[in-house]
Amino acid sequence: MKRIHIIVTGTVTGVGFRWWLKKEAEKRSIYGFVKNRTEDEVEALLLGHEKDVEDVVRLCRKGPTSS
């Protein structure tokens, strides 16, 4: 199991980023939380199998098409 705490910055509020990240994590049976910190920051704690967590972190660098 791998646990990682990340803060994603940029255009992440008002574009469905939290919802998208939650769905991507759920697809991989990753537990944790995701929440807005500021106008341009989202915080997430991800816990799951190492490959799955790394995949989600990689996806966060790109984000959904709306962000």
Greater pLDDT, 26 or 66: 26
Catalytic residue chosen out of the listed positions 3, 18, 28, 58? 18
| 28 catalytically annotated | no
Does residue 67 lie in a domain region? no
* pLDDT tens string 17-32: 999 999 999 999 999 9
- Residue 6 carries which side chain, given as an amino acid letter? I
Is 42 domain-assigned?
Answer: yes
Global pTM value = 0.88
Q: Is 26 helix (H, G, I), strand (E, B) or coil?
A: helix
CATH number, residue 36: 3.30.70.100
Residues 44 and 34 sit within 8 Å (Cβ to Cβ) = yes
Q: Contact, 44 vs 32, CB < 8 A?
A: yes
Q: Is the dihedral of CA 40, 47, 60, 65 positive or negative?
A: negative
Catalytic residue among 36, 37, 58, 61: 36
Active site residue 3: no
Which residue range forms the structural domain that includes residue 28? 2-62
For residue 5, the cross-strand partners are 45
